[in-house]
Amino acid sequence: QQQVKQSPQSLIVQKGGISIINCAYENTAFDYFPWYQQFPGKGPALLIAIRPDVSEKKEGRFTISFNKSAKQFSLHIMDSQPGDSATYFCVPHNAGNMLTFGGGTRLMVKP
């Protein structure tokens, strides 16, 4: 768990704004970089993921930016909506290892 640091712990954004959550890791063996989204009362679900051979991946309003040399990746949510209010987890890992989730980032998007 000490190998992954996610920030901020909590984030409040106005509707229509950009939400940015950052993830720093230490283990250079990681080869898969997903973000999971968890709504209250539900289990986490995969939101978007990236492999280290690309620097950016976009799916609708959600974008992952990946910086291999800095060992960081971030989640950008454009035009944030109240329905995006959830807890977000970065879970970098490689095959054969259990996924460690940590504390996540609680995002609140105000109307």
* CA gap 20, 8 in Å, rounded: 9
* 27 near another protein, judged by CB under 8 A: no
Query: Which one, 21 or 44, has the nearer CB to another protein?
Result: 44
Give, as ranges, the residues between 32 and 71 that touch another protein (CB under 8 A): 34, 36, 38, 41-46, 49
In sequence order, what are the beta bridge partners of 37?
A: 45, 88
Q: How many CA atoms lie within 13 A of 78 on its CB side?
A: 8
As measured in angstroms, the least distance from the Cβ of 24 to another protein is 18
Using the rule CB under 8 A, which residue among 27, 28, 55, 94 binds another protein? Answer: 94
* 92 near another protein, judged by CB under 8 A: no
Q: Which of 72, 76, 65, 92 is nearest to 11 (CA)?
A: 76
